[in-house]
Amino acid sequence: MSTAVVVDGPGEHRLVPHEPVRPAAGEALVRVHAVGICGSDREVYQGNRPEGYVRYPLAPGHEWSGTVEEVGAGVPATLTGRKVVGEGFRNCQVCDRCHAGETTLCTAGYEETGFTVPGAMAATLTLPARLLHVLPDAADLTAAALLEPAACIAAAALKANALPGERVAVVGTGTLGMFAVQFLRAGSPAELLVVGTRPDRAALAKEFGATGFRTRDEELPGGFDVVVETAGSASAARTAASLLRRGGRLVLTGIPAPGAEGLDPTDLVVRQLEVHTVFGAPPDAWAHTVRVFGAGLLNPMPLVTHELPLAAFAEAIELVGSGDPEVGKVLLKP
């Protein structure tokens, strides 16, 4: 029997029988291959996700890959059988922000797969076909389950607009940081420094294309043109800003705890720093990610350390929050 994970509320979850939802007009039914777990899923389970950004009871799962099994009316039949990943934000498509391509800023309000509508911790997922991105036929679906966090970093890379020959840096050595290294390396920087708190990540960072690695307690250089922050702490944001030259570009992707002391506005103004932020991934970032992945320039698999069955949801949540350096990306296989 097919199953799904349902989180009824903070700290409460069940494994329940799952019946596929037949796709309505404009929708597609996807057989889920793998679903990733990140800190946001842990927030959902623990009950500390910001108000308005979760709706219980809920089947979590916003990082996923799968194969289209059935399509509804108005969806090309040729989509059936294709390997896909999908955007999470359920944008309205009619507001001014959606028309501008900024779907993560949709003025109709926040709705996202795995947070306010059923996610992929189930045997199947039914969603609007317009959110799907088709993968090459030879794509590794296990690796593709990590393309959602990769797309968020693609959004950061596009905003950073690092030019060939510029000096770039990444602050943070988790999944997002390692994706940032890969995206920035593809732009042929003159230097690519990674700064983090985990010396054990140095080898992997260099495998992905970093030219240098330092911990945050070491003396750090300055003068970088572009810095992407992925660590999710106020101190990491300040470190990232300190690396920049005057007029440099900073992209923040991490979300610190509410009330954290942030950047110094005087420093931002006096040094004329250009600051961007990223929350989620709009369509252009998804398209960029799938294109880079299909070209073999993005390799998620070295980040995966655990593949567990769906029934091991509670174990997976604990692994993600364990702080164990041996734990990287955790995937569930329905």
**What's the full length of the chain, in residues?**
334
- Nearest Cα neighbor of 180 from 200, 199, 162 is 162
pLDDT at 154: 98
Average pLDDT over residues 8-34: 97
Percent of all residues in the chain with a pLDDT value above 70, rounded to a whole number: 100
pLDDT at 1: 67
SS3 content of the chain, % helix, strand, coil (to 5): 30, 30, 40
Query: Would you say residue 144 has pLDDT above 70?
Result: yes
**What tokens does 104 get?**
């993560």
Q: How far apart are CA 107 and CA 98, in angstroms?
A: 8
pLDDT at 24: 98
Distance (Å) of CA 77 to CA 21, 28, 38: 18, 10, 33
Query: Would you say residue 176 has pLDDT above 70?
Result: yes
Q: How far apart are CA 19 and CA 3, in angstroms?
A: 8
For 251-280, the pLDDT digits (tens) are 999 888 777 888 999 999 999 999 999 999
pLDDT at 236: 94
How far is it between the farthest Cα atoms of the chain?
62
pLDDT at 79: 98
pLDDT at 150: 98
Query: Would you say residue 13 has pLDDT above 90?
Result: yes
Handedness of CA 9, 10, 15, 20 (dihedral sign): positive
For 210-228, the pLDDT digits (tens) are 999 999 889 999 999 999 9
Query: Would you say residue 291 has pLDDT above 80?
Result: yes
Percent of all residues in the chain with a pLDDT value above 90, rounded to a whole number: 92
pLDDT at 330: 97
Query: Would you say residue 69 has pLDDT above 80?
Result: yes
**What are the two backbone dihedrals, phi and then psi, of residue 14, each rounded to the nearest 5 degrees?**
-135, 155
Which uninterrupted H or E stretch holds 134? strand 132-134
For 199-209, the pLDDT digits (tens) are 999 999 999 99
Name the average pLDDT for the chain. 95
Torsion of the alpha carbons at 164, 205, 333 and 232, rounded to the nearest 10: -80
pLDDT at 51: 87
Helix (H, G, I), strand (E, B) or coil at 58: strand
Residues whose CB falls within 8 Å of the CB of residue 12, separated by 6 or more in sequence, listed in order: none
